[in-house]
Amino acid sequence: MRSKVFITCAVTGAGDTTGKSEHVPITPTQIADSAVDAAKAGAAIVHCHVRDPKTGAPARDSAMYREVVDRIRGSGVDVVINLTAGHGGDLVFGAGETPLPLDAAATDLVGPEERVDHLKLCLPEVCTLDCGSMNFGEGDYVMTNTPAMLRQMAKRMQELGVKPEIEVFDTGHLAFAKQLVAEGLIDDPVMIQLCMGIPWGAPNDMHTLAAMVANVPSDWVYSGFSIGRMQMPYAAIMPVFGGNVRVGLEDNIYLSRGVKATNAQLVERAVQVLEGMGVGILGPDETRSALKLETPVR
């Protein structure tokens, strides 16, 4: 069991949550403000996507990422910034007996360089690397991250001095993460996120979590989370399994049954749970030390 953990707050995500809760931030200003509030509540890391300010749909606009990052950095509140690099891997097939042509309106599939374009502009300390492909949710959507794509993205992250947080949705993703490390494309200490309970990846039962944790090398730094009502139980479970914690509106919009949460409230609740277990909360500088982060020259 870990005696101290860092908390990551996943601020907004790319899911269809903006119509379900008024607290899910949409504009760059809202996203940055919510990230700052989460940091004040105890999050050492904020994980950020951006959205179309008019529709709330997921976006890949580098200028919006830059605005979010600049606003967080200009707030005077210290926090480690973690930007997604997951957008651009959305492959949606045509329905039924006509999988081709692809659903052009829903597909957002671009090359590795374009997927990391915002990182070059923003130079966050951390970014995500979804370490494999999978059927994601329902219908004909496939989250697409081929080995060649991942190798090129990991190499560019390494060149930029941005640490990948390897997002692992199943055991095969963990195996490929080990391969990237073996090829010298991921630097020590390796940072991973165990993403549990997302259809149709690793289920969030304890046997599966135990199997995932058992296959994480002992010198890697890892966190874990689950979605929906299992978010807060996982905040309590992860330190027992030797990991750090993630909460936030990307994964769950409720503080309790029927009560919608803000990001800051979810972080505050996680802090209460952890401190009630005798687990300390790491601040941004302690987290940087644990991850050996060096803020890139901007």
Distance from C-alpha of 249 to C-alpha of 231, rounded to nearest angstrom: 10
Q: Average pLDDT of the chain?
A: 95
Does residue 87 have a pLDDT over 80?
Answer: yes
User: For residue 150, what are the CA distances in angstroms to 128, 156, 158, 253?
Assistant: 11, 10, 12, 30
pLDDT of res. 110: 95
Give tens-digit pLDDT for 9-53.
999 999 999 999 999 999 999 999 999 999 999 999 999 999 999
Provide the pLDDT confidence category of residue 298 given band limits of 50, 70 and 90: very low
∠ CA 197-151-65, rounded to 5°: 70
pLDDT level of residue 295 (50, 70, 90 thresholds) = low
Distant-in-sequence, close-in-space partners of 6: CB < 8 Å, separation ≥ 6: 44, 45, 223, 244, 245, 281, 282, 286, 287, 290
Pick from 57-61, 69-73, 271-275: least confident: 57-61
Separation of alpha carbons 255 and 262, rounded Å: 8
**pLDDT level of residue 274 (50, 70, 90 thresholds):** very high
Distance CA 215, CA 231 (A): 22
174: pLDDT strictly greater than 60: yes
The band of 138, judged by pLDDT with boundaries at 50, 70 and 90, is confident
> What residue ranges define each of the domains in the chain, with the CATH number in brackets?
4-291 (3.20.20.70)
- pLDDT at residue 296 tops 80: no
The residue type of 106 is: A
Residue 194, beta-bridge partner list: 168, 224
Is 127 within 8 Å of 82 (Cβ atoms)? yes
| Mean of pLDDT values over 215-235 | 97
Average pLDDT over residues 278-298: 86
**Mean pLDDT of all residues in 254-259:** 95
Instruction: Tell me which residue has tokens 């005077």.
Output: 76
Predicted pLDDT of residue 137: 83
- In tens, the pLDDT along 185-215 reads 999 999 999 999 999 999 999 999 999 999 9
Give the mean pLDDT of 220-238. 97
**Mean of pLDDT values over 124-150:** 95
* Cα 221 to Cα 262: distance, rounded to the nearest angstrom: 27
pLDDT at 297: 46
